[in-house]
Amino acid sequence: MPEIAQVKPKTTTAPNDGSWTYRTRQWVDRVLPIDHLLPHRQPYYVGSWVYVFGVITIAALVWVVVIGVVLSFMGPQWWHVSSLGRFFNSLHFWSVQLFFIFMVLHLWGQYFMAGWRDGRAATWMIGVVIFGSSILTAFTGYLSQQNFDSQFIAINAKDAMNGAGIGAFFNVLNFGQMYGLHVMLLPIVVTFLVVVHIVMVRARGVVKPIDREGGSPS
Amino acid sequence: MDIPAHYFDWGFIHISYPNLIVVGVMLVLFALALVAPFPHGSDRDA
């Protein structure tokens, strides 16, 4: 019986073997160590209600998405006619109101504490893009209601779209396009950017107060 | 939705009362967040 050669898999223990997985892991370890991603303690200056606005915004976004999934599954007849559907429709609407209210409060807080300092400019700019994307998502939501109100808004909004020169790309009278944007593309954009925003905040930590050492405006 | 909102007019400012109330509530919330004590605020890293 011939012996089967015991070939050990060829491995390398070199610290840098050129593989992209190794380099990616090293990069993640360096940029976002796990104790930054899931901290159990925060600096003393985070003990303020101002820092809660962002968390409430995320909570509202979760509600908006979860209830939106239910609404898209059940359909317009359900959300316009049945009691439970109207309740869920209202939950979706009021969750969006809370989302915008607390997003703007978060914006005020970060503006007055100059939250873009110390290498956090990209975090701030992504927040700006999230704000704009959320407004687009809300507008397409008004167009997706499937009632006379949404038709009235669409008829009036088309002139604004044409006046802005983007009517050829965004036809607000095209329900399918607006609904698709509202339930698929724009929520993915907003959710993805929110995740990136949070990871960037976790990577660098919360910005120090302006009068704190090392936290001077730049 | 069928009943138009009443509007507040002051100089160039023209805003519906529902929106004015929301802005007012936001300003109050922001001011409260600055001054209200945060629970366990001292139980944190220096």
Q: What is the tens place of the pLDDT at every residue in A188-211? A: 999 999 999 999 999 888 888 887
Contacts of A53 in chain B (CB under 8 A): 33
Distance (Å, whole) CA B40 – CA B46: 13
Of B1, B26, B42, nearest to A105 by CB-CB distance is: B26
Residues of chain A with pLDDT > 70, as a percent, come to 89
User: What is the distance of C-alpha A187 from the center of its chain?
Assistant: 8
Name every residue whose Cβ is closer than 8 Å to that of residue A181 and which is 6 or more positions away in sequence. A136, A137, A140
Chain B 16-45, CB below 8 Å of chain A: which residues? 22, 25-26, 29-30, 32-34, 36, 38, 40-42, 44-45
Residues belonging to chain B: 46
**Which of A35, A48, A94, A142 should we substitute to test contact with B (largest number of B Cβ atoms within 10 Å)?**
A48
Distance (Å, whole) CA A164 – CA A39: 45
The model's confidence at residue A102, banded by pLDDT at 50, 70 and 90, is very high
Contacts of A52 in chain B (CB under 8 A): 33
Query: Domain extents for chain A?
Result: 48-113, 116-206
Of B29, B30, B46, nearest to A44 by CB-CB distance is: B46
Minimum distance, in Å, between the CA of residue A149 and any CA atom of chain B:
8
Of B1, B38, B40, nearest to A149 by CB-CB distance is: B1
Give me the mean pLDDT over the A52-81 stretch. 96
Q: What is the CA radius of gyration of chain A?
A: 24
Minimum distance, in Å, between the CA of residue A91 and any CA atom of chain B:
16
Give me the mean pLDDT over the A63-90 stretch. 96
pTM of the model: 0.84
Q: How many other CB atoms sit within 10 Å of the CB of residue A41? A: 10
Distance (Å, whole) CA A187 – CA A176: 16
In A, minimum Cα distance to B22 occurs at A101
Lowest mean pLDDT among A40-49, A107-116, A160-169: A40-49
Q: Is A46 on the interface with B (CB under 8 A)?
A: yes
Reply yes or no on whether the pLDDT at A18 is more than 90: no
B37, B45 contact by CB (below 8 A)? no
Distance (Å, whole) CA B19 – CA B9: 13
